[in-house]
Chains A and B, each alone.
Chain A
Amino acid sequence: MAKITYIDHTGTERTLEAKNGESVMEVAIKNSVPGIDADCGGACACATCHVYVDEAYLGKLSPPEAMETSMLDFAENVRDNSRLSCQISVSDELDGMKVTTPESQH
């Protein structure tokens, strides 16, 4: 279990309980967090679940695979802490992590 805080582009924060093994995207979708579309449902096929990850937690995430890096390269407003949230699997280690969602995924 981990508490993940989602911050939308207006600065509104929502903290949600996430189960280990769920993705950061799934938790967002099931709780109707704005700013994440996740059209493909987590298959790393559409790049519509882009988030910015709290720098302090970046190192705790497994590094992106080639597909994710390649998809992110074409997302809008990519930064060094950009990830696709469908590829971040929740674990105890991520308790307290904050992710920020962009204004639009398209």
Chain B
Amino acid sequence: MSRENLNCILVIGGGQAGAQALISLRQNGYEGALHLIAEEPFLPYQRPPLSKAYLKGEMAKERLAFKPQDWYESHNITLHLGVRADKIDRENHILHLQDGTELTYDALIIATGARPRPLKLEGADLKGVQDLRGLDDIDQLRPALKRGTRLVIIGAGYIGLEAAAAARSLGAEVTVLEMAERVLARVTSPVISTFFTQLHERQGVSIRTKVRTDCLMGKAGHVSGVKLSTGEELPADIVLVGIGVLPNQELAEAAGILCETGICVDEAGRTSDPDIFAAGDCTSRPLIHYDRRGRLESVHNAIEQGKCVAAALMEKPGPKLDVPWFWSDQYHIKLQIAGLSQGYENFIVRGDPTSERFAVFYFKAGKLLGVDAINAPPEFLVTKKLIISGSALAPEELQDTSLSMKEIAAKYAA
């Protein structure tokens, strides 16, 4: 399909990736028909504040939207909100919506995101047991979070810990349950796990690692507690489930588009069907700085792939691919992550891990993989450059705080 034959583009999914694709298509000069199909009944909105400022009540709902309603009108974008896309008919280039609408397309962009991994335990369907993914989840949760509310969070990942911090600031009594031997075990080093455990404990959160949840208990249809495998019962007014996400790839899979864990795309965001693209949490993509493929759940990825897809469709050069980056806000702490530390063989700590400003750098076979930077933007920003430059640097140099990150950048990332 060439650009001349591109007269109707459909974007499925109203998250960060879908919104970015819309914005970038119009910015790149696409003037044809453009539709957004989104399952949630809202204009595309930012998700990161949901577990942070919005949950704490510090950010008004209107501020979550990427663009106001009139932007969609002035950019001639047809909105299908609160409607699910049901089926892709690739042969006839038709997308079937749940409400019976059929939309023909020249190009389709799948940005369906990810959904919370369901808790498969007895009692998981009780009222007061909640996920943390969408605006509705938070709007339901927030009025119930008051001083003294007993909140149990299952899963000590970033979402669970951010929710713990926000709930503490609202005065809730918070317990976090984690099966692994430490918090954030899947995503970071013991140094960072210890730091966050101590941070939360100082704030009055009870962190319970190496525990298994047996079932959720209820009274009159509402959750009343959590029973651990040891038989111990923890009373609970609300239970939040934060045990990871699953990519929403079923629509693509059912249409015969190649998927692994995530919809397989190339660097431009193209799937195994040349007229169908995908972007954001639902994809499995090349990770060019790591010579492998993988799935990223992040704002950076959603923005980058949204831009890539729009550029590819408009036959323009895509953005320079960045090193994956992430952040997390908990209390007064900002964690910034650059790179992917999974599979690291060793790490070094720069600064004092008992202070609230330090960084942990991860290495494999002498190569710098990434950094977890606690209130340390220079370490975060310079690591991105160091990974892109690919230059070999001695871990000891990063450990030496008499060398500033600027000096290290000048030496290795010039």
B66 at the interface (CB under 8 A from A): yes
User: With A39-B300, A67-B375 in contact, is A45–B381 under 8 Å at CB?
Assistant: no
> Smallest CB–CB gap between A105 and chain B, Å?
12
B71 touches A30 (CB 8 A): yes
B67 at the interface (CB under 8 A from A): yes
> Smallest CB–CB gap between B375 and chain A, Å?
7
- Give the residue name and chain of the B residue nearest to A29 (CB): B66
Q: Which residues of A contact B300 (CB under 8 A)?
A: 39
A39 in complex: contacting residue of B52, B68, B303, B406, CB < 8 Å: B303
Residues of A in contact, count (CB < 8 Å)? 20
User: With A67-B334, A71-B377 in contact, is A41–B382 under 8 Å at CB?
Assistant: no
User: With A39-B303, A40-B299 in contact, is A45–B71 under 8 Å at CB?
Assistant: no
User: With A30-B67, A30-B71, A67-B375 in contact, is A41–B381 under 8 Å at CB?
Assistant: no
Q: Interface 1/0s, chain A 27-49, versus B by CB < 8 A?
A: 00110100000011101111100
B71 in complex: contacting residue of A32, A44, A46, A74, CB < 8 Å: A32
Question: Using a CB-CB cutoff of 8 Å, which residues 365-401 of chain B contact chain A?
Answer: 375-378, 381-382
> Smallest CB–CB gap between B391 and chain A, Å?
18
Chain B interface: which size bin?
20 to 34
Complex Cα distance, B65 from A26, in Å, reads 10
B327 touches A67 (CB 8 A): no
B334 in complex: contacting residue of A30, A44, A106, CB < 8 Å: A44
Q: Interface 1/0s, chain A 67-80, versus B by CB < 8 A?
A: 10011011000000
B61 at the interface (CB under 8 A from A): no
Complex Cα distance, B280 from A78, in Å, reads 32
B49 touches A41 (CB 8 A): yes
Complex Cα distance, B135 from A36, in Å, reads 26
> Smallest CB–CB gap between B387 and chain A, Å?
15
User: With A74-B378, A74-B382 in contact, is A45–B67 under 8 Å at CB?
Assistant: no
Q: Which residues of B contact A71 (CB under 8 A)?
A: 377, 381
A43 touches B327 (CB 8 A): yes
A54 at the interface (CB under 8 A from B): no
Residues of chain B whose beta carbon lies under 8 Å from any beta carbon of chain A = 46, 48-49, 52, 63, 65-68, 71, 299-300, 303, 320, 325, 327, 329, 334, 336, 375-378, 381-382, 406
**12 A–B contact pairs at CB < 8 A?**
A22-B63, A29-B67, A30-B71, A39-B299, A39-B303, A44-B334, A47-B377, A67-B334, A70-B378, A71-B381, A73-B378, A73-B406
Known A26-B63, A29-B67, A41-B299; further 12 A-B contacts with Cβ < 8 A: A30-B67, A32-B67, A43-B52, A43-B329, A45-B334, A45-B336, A46-B325, A47-B381, A67-B375, A67-B377, A70-B377, A70-B378
Residues of chain A whose beta carbon lies under 8 Å from any beta carbon of chain B = 22, 26, 29-30, 32, 39-41, 43-47, 66-67, 70-71, 73-74, 106
